[in-house]
Amino acid sequence: MPEQQPVLIYDRIDGNRRNTFVLLTVFVLLLAGLSILFGLMIGMPYPLAPLVIIPFLIFAVISYYASSNIALGISGAKEVSKEQEPELVRTVENLCIGAGLPMPKVYVIEDGSPNAFATGRDPDHAAVAVTRGLLDKLEKIELEGVIAHELSHIGNYDIRVMTIVVVLVGIAALMADFMLRLTFFGSGRRSSNKGKGGGAAMAIVLLLAIAAAILTPIAAQAIRFAVSRQREYLADASGALLTRSPEGLASALEKIAADPDKLESANKATAHLYINNPLKEHKSFLNNMFTTHPPIEERVRLLRAM
Amino acid sequence: MLAITIILLVLLGVVVLAGLALLGIYNGLVRSRVRAREAWSGIDVQLKRRASLIPNLVETVKGYAAHEQEVLENVTRARAMLDQAGGAAQAAQADNVLTGALRSLFAVSENYPQLRANENFMALQKELSDVEEKIAFARQFYNRNVQDFNTRIQVFPSVIIANMFNFERFDFFEAEETAREDVQVSFGSTS
């Protein structure tokens, strides 16, 4: 193992915030470029882009308010009281006091595979869900680490950030789709309206548009996953700050990764929520670029270096 | 004439900008102070809860170990100290004394098997250890906020505003480093 220089937890959190900001900026620039191309294609500068966005915004607002209920429903989580799960609820209470967060609702998923997720648009409407396997298989200090990680997602407004990112990805995909369709079905009519020079310029715009339409959704997805991975590192770091013990989360992550059980109720739509990918996909370079979570070994290494 | 107008306008702009900057700094300081006070109330709630458990505990212990006068008196006295404490530094000190007194009380209780089997006693012991943990977390949150506020009022340029409006430093809530662990140890059954 190469010697990792110990990094201050505060620095790590700052660095993560910066990275997320840079990625989001790149994303917005990408979308801006795409809409300019789109505008040029249909003959006007900045024309239809707002209209393209409207249905998406409506969809986004609905999913923004409904997403946590949908996620909890799909995963089969049941809300538990302090009497039912005293140790779990007490751990959540304590860490909330430490993080200065209001108490979220606590859910348990009756599944032997150890995993956990947090959801909710802001700290006042948040929920933490853990599986039965997590409660059974983890020591107290490890459970604290996992809960602290989830509470950090809530405190960092990660659900909000990820909702925004998903909407941006959706808009990019939709625009790209429109552009491809326009290229194939609408270009002939339009280019005949222009003079000679206009035709040559239009051809360049069209070529660019096709390239952009193909590449943008891929790039958008890659950025989305990169943002997600950044948020995971950030939640690891702020969670470690909260418990003052990175080791708890590190060994919990190892246990979760080593566990052979697959989480029955998880699917592609909810996988990104969990503390570790519940689908246990195999690894490859492409998978690494298109995964919501950084590799466990890397997260554990960084935690141990704190 | 025109030159003078421009200079005046520029000066006006500078003054307005400086005013806005001052306002921003002032609001930032107030916000940070509000956060620190809120964090303090988080500790205060737990301290009050802890204090409110003491009379019941003392009564219960008296029923089985009445002649452990000294230990019981220490706990009662520490509780009174906590009630009268003003400010974080005093409260922290009183809380540490109370922690120590409770530690001896629970150590002594090892000699009274009937007391240890008492349901009320067991419940109180559990609740006190829960409060102890919550105080530790609340302390951590409070101290982080205080550190933020105290730093703000000491660094340039916000130190100027802080002095102008008499922003005063908060005391940290300092526990003896080992307090949390020791209590957990004494709440176990061996030592």
Instruction: Average the pLDDT over B130-145 and give the result.
Output: 90
Residue A52: per-residue pLDDT: 56
Instruction: Average the pLDDT over A299-304 and give the result.
Output: 87
Instruction: Average the pLDDT over A113-128 and give the result.
Output: 87
Enumerate the CATH 3.30.2010.10 domain ranges in chain A, comma separated: 68-157+229-305
CA distance B25 to B18: 11
Residue A2: per-residue pLDDT: 35
Higher pLDDT among residues A37 and B168, named by residue: B168
Interface of A with B (CB under 8 A): 90, 93-95, 97-100, 244
Range of lowest pLDDT (A152-156, A228-232, B87-91, B187-191): B187-191
Instruction: Average the pLDDT over B45-57 and give the result.
Output: 92
Q: Do A100 and B38 touch (CB under 8 A)?
A: yes
Residue B8: per-residue pLDDT: 93
Q: Quick check: A44 pLDDT over 70?
A: no
Q: Quick check: A38 pLDDT over 80?
A: no
Residue A285: per-residue pLDDT: 54
Query: How many CB atoms neighbour CB A41 within 10 A?
Result: 25
Q: In the structure, what pLDDT confidence band is assigned to residue A9 with cuts at 50, 70 and 90?
A: low
Residues of B (35-54) whose Cβ lies below 8 Å from A: 35, 38-39, 42, 46
Highest mean pLDDT among A93-102, A182-191, B64-73 belongs to: A93-102
Residue B48: per-residue pLDDT: 92
Give the CA distances from residue B51 to residues A91, A276, B3, B175, in Å, rounded to whole numbers and listed in that order: 22, 42, 71, 17
Q: pLDDT tens digits, residue range A57-67?
A: 676 677 677 77
Residue A1: per-residue pLDDT: 32
Q: What is the mean pLDDT of chain B?
A: 86
Q: How many CB pairs under 8 A join A and B?
A: 25
Give the CA distances from residue B86 to residues B44, B82, B93, in Å, rounded to whole numbers and listed in that order: 11, 9, 11
Active site residues of A: 150
Residue with tokens 């998406």: A56
Sheet holding A105-109, edge to edge: A77-79, A105-109, A127-131, A116-119
Nearest to A97 among B35, B134, B145 (CB): B134
Residue A263: per-residue pLDDT: 77
Domains in chain B: boundaries:
18-187
Residue B3: per-residue pLDDT: 87
Distance from CA of A240 to the nearest CA of B (A): 13
Q: Using an 8 Å CB-CB cutoff, list chain B residues near A100.
A: 35, 38-39, 42, 141, 145
Q: Quick check: A179 pLDDT over 80?
A: no
Higher pLDDT among residues A45 and B52, named by residue: B52
Q: pLDDT tens digits, residue range B73-109?
A: 999 999 998 888 888 888 998 999 999 999 999 998 8
Q: Using an 8 Å CB-CB cutoff, list chain A residues near B35.
A: 100
Closest-CA residue of A relative to B136 is: A98
Return the percentage of chain B with pLDDT > 90, whole number.
Answer: 36
Q: Quick check: B20 pLDDT over 90?
A: yes
Q: In the structure, what pLDDT confidence band is assigned to residue B135 with cuts at 50, 70 and 90?
A: very high
Q: Using an 8 Å CB-CB cutoff, list chain A residues near B140.
A: 98, 244
Which 3-state string (H, E, C) describes A170-182? HHHHHHHHHHHHH
Preceding amide of B157 cis, omega within 30 = yes
Among 3.30.2010.10, 3.40.50.300, 1.10.3720.10, 3.30.365.10, name the CATH number for the domain at A68-157+229-305.
Answer: 3.30.2010.10
**Which fold, B18-187?**
de novo design (two linked rop proteins) (1.20.1440)
Residue A191: per-residue pLDDT: 45
